[in-house]
Chain A
Amino acid sequence: MSTAAAPRGLPIEISGLTKHFGSILAVDHLDFVVEPGRVTGFLGPNGSGKTTTLRMLLGLVTPNAGQATVGGRFYRDLPNPSGTVGAVLEATSFHPARRARTHLRMVARAGGHDEARADVVLDLVGLAADGKRKVGGFSMGMRQRLELASALIGDPDVLILDEPSNGLDPQGIAWLRDFMRYLAGEGRTILVSSHLLAEMAQTIDNAVIVSHGQLKAQGTLESLTSGVAQASMHARTPEADRLCAVLTGAGTRFRRLAHDLVAVDGMTPEQLGPLLATNQIILYELTNEGADLESIFLSLTAGLGFGEVGHPE
Chain B
Amino acid sequence: MINAIRTELLKMRSMPGIWVCFGLAFPLTVLIMLAVFAGAGGSPGHTYSFVVSLDQRRALVGAGYYGITFLAPVLGVICITSEYRHKTITSTLVLIPRRSRVLGAKVAVTAWWCVLMVVLTLVTVAAVGLPWNAGLGGVTSQVTDQVGAVVPGLVVATILLGLFGLGFGTLVKNQVAGILITIGGTFILEPVLVLLARGIFHYDLNWLPTDAAAALSGSLNRGGFGGHPDAGSHLLRWWLGGLIMLGWGLVPLSLGYFTTVRRDVT
Contacts and interface: CB of A to CB of B under 8 A. Distances in A.
Interface string A8-25: 000000000000010000
Contact of B90 (A21, A90, A105): A90
Contact of B266 (A55, A58, A75): A55
Interface in A105-126: 105-107, 109-112
Contact of A82 (B88, B95, B98, B266): B95
B88 A89 contact: no
Contacts of B86: 93-96
Contacts of A95: 11, 14-15, 82, 86, 88
A58 B11 CA distance: 22
Nearest to B4: A110
B10 interface: yes
A102 interface: yes
Interface string B1-28: 0011011001100111000000000000
Contacts of B127: none
Contact of B7 (A21, A99, A110): A110
Given A105-B10, A109-B7, A76 B82 contact: no
A139 interface: no
A109 B97 contact: no
A150 interface: yes
Nearest to A102: B14
Nearest to B16: A97
B14 A97 contact: yes
Interface stretch (A32-40, A59-67, A194-202): A59-67
A81 B266 contact: no
A112 B6 CA distance: 10
A105 B7 CA distance: 8
B91 A150 contact: yes
A64 to B, nearest CB: 11
Nearest to B6: A109
A60 B6 CA distance: 22
Q: How large is the interface on B (under 10, 10 to 19, 20 to 34, 35 or more residues)?
A: 20 to 34
Interface string A247-276: 000000000000000000000000000000
Contact of A75 (B7, B15, B97): B97
B94 A58 contact: yes
Contacts of A105: 10
B230 interface: no
Contacts of A97: 14-16
Contacts of A102: 10, 14
A132 interface: no
Contacts of A89: 90-91, 94
Contacts of B264: 55, 60-62
A76 to B, nearest CB: 4
A93 B95 contact: no
B93 A110 contact: no
B94 A60 contact: yes
A78 to B, nearest CB: 8
A228 B264 CA distance: 36
Given A60-B264, A60-B266, A93-B87, 17 more contacts: A21-B266, A55-B264, A60-B94, A61-B264, A93-B90, A93-B91, A97-B16, A98-B14, A98-B15, A99-B14, A102-B10, A106-B7, A106-B10, A106-B14, A110-B92, A110-B95, A110-B96
8 contacts: A21-B266, A60-B266, A76-B97, A81-B95, A93-B88, A95-B14, A97-B16, A98-B14
